[in-house]
Chains A and B, each alone.
Chain A
């Protein structure tokens, strides 16, 4: 139960802050997505993402911020193991699942449905 409440509070807060960004700047949702992903990467680089996941569960793994987290995590794990090459081989190691799923599901949905007028 605790994790559900934390997921709501923290996940909701991230979205609320995103809305403030949209309301008070001229940037678009695309900018917001990029910035949120970059923030996720940086938090992982600082070693803060893992504790956040333990603290808020899906509250930080459902927002796209987590995409930045898993890209960086892949790089950090692979560079630790394989050094320089890991900078490249690690990037999609964990994130590859999400990228592949997003593009494949996206293709199927876009091929089936027509935009509403």
Chain B
């Protein structure tokens, strides 16, 4: 572990290492390309599953599970972080990025134990997403109940 008394500049350099380099325009197109390709892959899986006779709903559910598995596996192998270096939001916004956001902290904090390390930190990013996803869905439900 490094010392904490870094200068502002050193700290910025440290952060930069974990973010895509380059201009916002380059970052936009990198995110577009990789995110788009992940969606194309998802479409391919979806079509294949439906071609195998699954209903739309079942095919979507399996598609989600498959993409989560691939995202989680690539995170475990350390490949996903490499992709993220290049693609930024292109690897964060697709569902594979959600798997990454779950596996990454869980793996990192496993050294603090399975309960308070892995078990708690598996939700460190998924938790906020679930909380605000549920809250919004609930509020929209309330509005619909009141209006209709």
Contact = CB atoms under 8 A, between A and B. Distances in A.
Contact of A68 (B33, B99, B104, B133): B133
User: What size tier do the contact residues of chain A reach?
Assistant: 35 or more
A111 B99 CA distance: 14
Interface in A81-98: 83-84, 86-88, 90-91, 95, 97-98
User: What size tier do the contact residues of chain B reach?
Assistant: 35 or more
A84 B136 contact: no
A15 B40 contact: no
Interface in B10-41: 20, 24, 27-40
A91 B137 contact: yes
B95 A76 contact: no
B68 A98 contact: yes
B106 A30 contact: no
Contact of B31 (A16, A41, A84): A16
Contact of B141 (A8, A79, A101): A79
Contact of B36 (A12, A18, A67): A12
B72 A105 contact: yes
B64 A14 contact: no
B89 A71 contact: no
B33 A12 contact: yes
B4 interface: no
Contacts of B95: 62-64, 66-67, 98
Contacts of B92: 15, 18, 29, 32-33
Interface of B: 20, 24, 27-40, 42-44, 46-47, 60-61, 63-65, 67-69, 72-73, 75-78, 81, 87-90, 92-95, 97-99, 101-104, 106-108, 110, 114, 118, 122, 125-126, 128-130, 132-134, 136-138, 140-145
Which 4 residue pairs of A and B lie closest in terms of their CB atoms, listed nearest first?
A15-B35, A12-B36, A11-B39, A113-B76
26 contacts: A3-B47, A7-B36, A7-B39, A11-B38, A15-B92, A15-B93, A16-B31, A19-B88, A22-B27, A23-B27, A32-B92, A33-B92, A33-B97, A61-B60, A61-B63, A64-B93, A67-B95, A71-B137, A90-B137, A97-B61, A106-B99, A106-B106, A109-B107, A113-B75, A113-B107, A115-B78
